[in-house]
Amino acid sequence: MQKIKLRKRQKGHHSHRKPLRAKPSETWVSNRITLSNISFQKEGNVYFKSQSMSGRGRNARRSAEKAKKEFIGFDDPLGIDMNISVKDEVICPDMLPTPDDDIFGMVDSQDLVDEQQKMQRLYPMDMGPNEHHNFNDRLSSLERKVDFLLNINTKILARVDKICENMKSVTKPNDFPVKHKEALEAIDLKIANDMEKYTELFKNLLSPSGIVKNIGRIIDQKLLMEMNYGGHSSKAGLSSYINLNTALYESQRTEGYTFDDYRKDARMAFQKAKNRVYKAVSEARKLKRLNGEIAESNNQDNDTNECKEKME
């Protein structure tokens, strides 16, 4: 190894850094020498101690680098999934888009998704690392997305208004509860001509507790006492009115709810309705008997008082 010789630092030459002389036993490689994990940079024939970073400086640098990575990897909450699609959408025939609907901003939901994807292609948020530092561009992109969402919101509100307008035409429950068997037959024929309308009507009448507690809203209490579900014991059966029975089932049907489940609920509805009547009759009899006993007791007291007066 070649020994090194260092000259003294001249005045005014690199005065901001303190030169360190290397000892004869120290060796150098290229323009840098390392002593006890301390680095010295060679400039000419003089070695200067490299500027090392303190613990506070290292922490600040790491925090800055971490913030930069988080900003670059920022997950935009308004980011649009290009793979989004509308699945199993149910659209009423009278709700299909028409030229008149376009005037009110009415479009199909799939059209909304297509427009959203088109907007994403025009204004992509997948900017490079360098562009992420330009906050003005990012804010401009966010403003465009907000305008796009406001546009969609306007169209959704227009669709809601259209739905509310259509709901006004729902049949009013003037024919319910049904009070006579003849009326049941007439209702069964009406349901056959417009099953969907009566299904929606029954859904509203029976909610929220369902057919078990609210069957009295469909069939009057007196008529219920003359009926049962299957038509046993010489009584009229609800199952005999096929259209009415089907509409009631459709109004209660949910995922996993079968016709057997509905049949059990309908039988339970008849049973509970009749039990309420039996209980009311029993309580009325008890009250009548109690009133009779009280009246009889009062008569006996009156007779006793009259006898005492006569004896006196």
Does residue 244 carry a pLDDT above 70?
yes
- Identify the weakest region by mean pLDDT among 29-43, 94-108, 197-211: 94-108
Contacts of 5 (CB under 8 A, 6+ apart): 45
Dist. CA 176–CA 219, nearest whole Å: 7
| Bond preceding residue 93 cis, omega within 30 of 0 | no
Does residue 50 carry a pLDDT above 60?
no
- Identify the weakest region by mean pLDDT among 4-18, 138-152, 190-204, 285-299: 4-18
- What's the whole-number mean pLDDT along residues 285-291? 84
Does residue 279 carry a pLDDT above 70?
yes
Confidence of residue 248 (pLDDT cuts 50, 70, 90): very high
Can you give the pLDDT at residue 194?
A: 87
Confidence of residue 73 (pLDDT cuts 50, 70, 90): low
Where are the alpha helices (H) located in 88-194, listed in sequence order? 99-103, 109-122, 135-167, 181-193
Q: Are 220 and 179 in contact (CB under 8 A)?
A: yes
Can you give the pLDDT at residue 285?
A: 85
